[in-house]
Amino acid sequence: MKTSRQTDSVTNPGKAYALLLHNLCIDLRIPDDVREHMTGLARSRSYARLVSMADELTHTVYESADEHFRWNQLALFITKCPFVARGLDPKAAALHKFRASEWRMRRANRKFRLLGRRLDGHTPFKNDLQYGSAKFLHRVREKIADILGELNLREVYGECYMGDGSAVGTHGQATHIIKKMRNLTCTPTAVCFLKGAMWNNPHLRLAAINLPPISHRYPELQRKRLEEWFDKNLIEVRYNEVTFVSKNAKTHRSIALEPSGNGLLQLGAGWVIANRLRRCGINIQDQTNNQIFALFGSECYDYVGAIATIDLKAASDSIATELVRLLLPPDWWEFLNRIRSPHYSVEGSPVEAYHKFASMGNGFCFPLETLIFYAVCKTAVEDAGSTLLAVYGDDIALPKGAALLAIERLRYCGFQVNVDKTFIHGPFRESCGADFFEGLDVRPFVLDYLPQKLVDLVKIANGLQARGRSFPATVQCCMDLTPTEHLLLKPHPTGAIDDAIQVPMDTFMGRGSAIKWNRPNQTWNFKVWKTRSADDEEIVLCSTEQALAMHHGSTPVRAPYRKDLTQVRNPAREVGTPSLPLRFTTRTTRHWYLPT
């Protein structure tokens, strides 16, 4: 198959962004004075002033769904974009927030340490008011104990697996499981659990000891080889590595790279907690409940029992260690405390002790925070005489009659409510990526990258049109910024956002993008961009490692750490008509797009 690799980038990303912003303002019917002012700021690279101006739009209350969508779409085309300009230092802002959260958790730990002694009867409360404020924690502890039950290590070991992200000792793009197995890191307190997880997982065990499958008849030999492998390959560390990734124009997001052995155990514990939560109706793999609650809350916002949505600020950085000790059963607390990273290092700085229990990047952080938020809010919902509650991480949906009580109790537990994204009154609701205004979908397209490559223009054009709205001027601008030899169009959605620019049928036919009429399917074939992975030339796998790689969904000779975009040439002139119609996906190696 002949392909031409896409190496061309957008000539001038800053100028291209200014043109896109100007045309977006035309499509959104923004007043001329505002449009010219914003476009002028973008052209002069005054991004700090542009972001500040866009921030004001998101804090404004609008009277109609159309007005809300237009101004918020304009704002989110600006505020999430990672600009580099004077007056914007997102990394410094993220580091300041991280240090501030650690300071808050240090104070919270002192509070909950004393509170735990009082709730256990070792220290008396000063007065009845103090006891009344804290007695709901007894119910929270009971609910968490009922949900988690008794810790079963065999069940945790059965859920353990290697994630596909970076870890301590494994960085860059080659972060697949084989690299982590050959550079295994773990904290000293978690080593015994890691050995248990490796022994109970036959794929990991055979990959480590490199013995044939028939060796299961000799468990003593396997245990001996596994101990030798640990002595040779295991690297003990005391900390995780805190780094920063892009979040918006003003601040980055702090994340922690866990040791690979700890990450394996944390993911297993997280899945067990998630399975326990599913028994009480909380599925952290599905956001539908929260989105439906947001829709109902928006439609019936003036009803006394309407749904409110609550969002928390920096939830992952607000779980105090002593709060977890106070709320979790002893066996769960001991296990989770031993497999977490107790210390951190910020990009090579001296190692410091954590005051929070788990940072973003910890494998059980999301299920654990969901569990705590659910138990706390459940007590408020029950006290309000209701049963409606949906929790997905820090996105909470509950009756507005219980909202203020839930906010009070969440704050008592050390969490901060994001007042900009919490909606109790009014016609707007937002939860889990769904925005509704009086029951109408007003979710805008979020631009969180600068248009530096040609495929970025494809993603912008299709992202704006993804919800059935029309942006003719902006789509035309994306087409004009793309060189003719690289311009690929499609007349209808294909399920991918970055394969070709979606345009009306008359534009598609007028540009000559149709290759050949497919009579059986009554449609046109057309060219698209496709993604393919490159070989990891550093890795030579043995047979057991090949099986392990295939077990985790990656082929042994194509470790997916580098991606190239290729343009498929006209197959009608090279290989003739395909024998069978195939539906295009990112894994398809054929030439055609033929819808079923």
- Tell me the per-residue pLDDT of 5-53, one tens digit each, with 9 for 90 and over: 445 688 889 999 999 999 999 999 999 999 999 999 999 999 999 999 9
Q: What is the pLDDT of residue 1?
A: 30
Q: What is the pLDDT of residue 589?
A: 31
Same domain, yes or no: 161 and 191 = yes
Domain contains 263: yes
Gap between the Cα atoms of 251 and 442, Å rounded? 25
Q: What is the pLDDT of residue 128?
A: 61
Q: What is the pLDDT of residue 176?
A: 72
Q: What is the pLDDT of residue 581?
A: 27
Same domain, yes or no: 303 and 331 = yes
Same domain, yes or no: 414 and 518 = no
Domain contains 322: yes
Three-class DSSP category at 101: helix
Domain contains 329: yes
Same domain, yes or no: 363 and 430 = yes
Boundary of a domain, candidates 430, 464, 481: 481
Residue-wise pLDDT tens digits, 359-396: 888 999 999 999 999 999 999 999 999 999 999 999 99
* 518 or 260, higher pLDDT: 260
The contacts of residue 72 (CB under 8 Å, 6+ apart) are: 57, 58, 435, 442, 444
Same domain, yes or no: 558 and 490 = yes
Three-class DSSP category at 345: strand
Domain contains 145: no
Same domain, yes or no: 542 and 505 = yes
Same domain, yes or no: 527 and 476 = no
285 burial level (CB within 10 Å; 0-12, 13-18, 19+) = exposed
Same domain, yes or no: 344 and 201 = yes
Domain contains 146: no
pLDDT at 74 over 50: yes
- Region 270-292 average pLDDT: 94
First and final CA of the chain: distance in angstroms?
A: 23
Same domain, yes or no: 509 and 471 = no
Same domain, yes or no: 319 and 170 = yes
pLDDT at 457 over 90: yes
Three-class DSSP category at 567: strand
Q: Which domain holds residue 346?
A: 157-441
pLDDT-based confidence at 181, cuts 50/70/90?
A: confident
Based on the structure, what is the number of domains in the chain?
3
Gap between the Cα atoms of 380 and 389, Å rounded? 10
Domain contains 272: yes
Gap between the Cα atoms of 329 and 325, Å rounded? 8
Mean pLDDT check: name the lowest of 184-188, 308-312, 327-331, 525-529: 525-529
- Region 212-235 average pLDDT: 77
Domain contains 564: yes
Same domain, yes or no: 346 and 429 = yes
pLDDT at 353 over 90: yes
Gap between the Cα atoms of 395 and 402, Å rounded? 15
Bridge-partner residues for 527, per DSSP? none
pTM over 0.75: yes
Torsion sign across C-alpha atoms 342, 348, 351, 356: negative
Same domain, yes or no: 475 and 497 = no
Domain contains 120: no
Boundary of a domain, candidates 375, 410, 441: 441
Average pLDDT, the chain: 83
Question: Phi, psi (5° rounding) for residue 376?
Answer: -65, -50
Boundary of a domain, candidates 410, 441, 472: 441
Task: Note whether 296 and 307 are within 8 A (CB).
Answer: yes
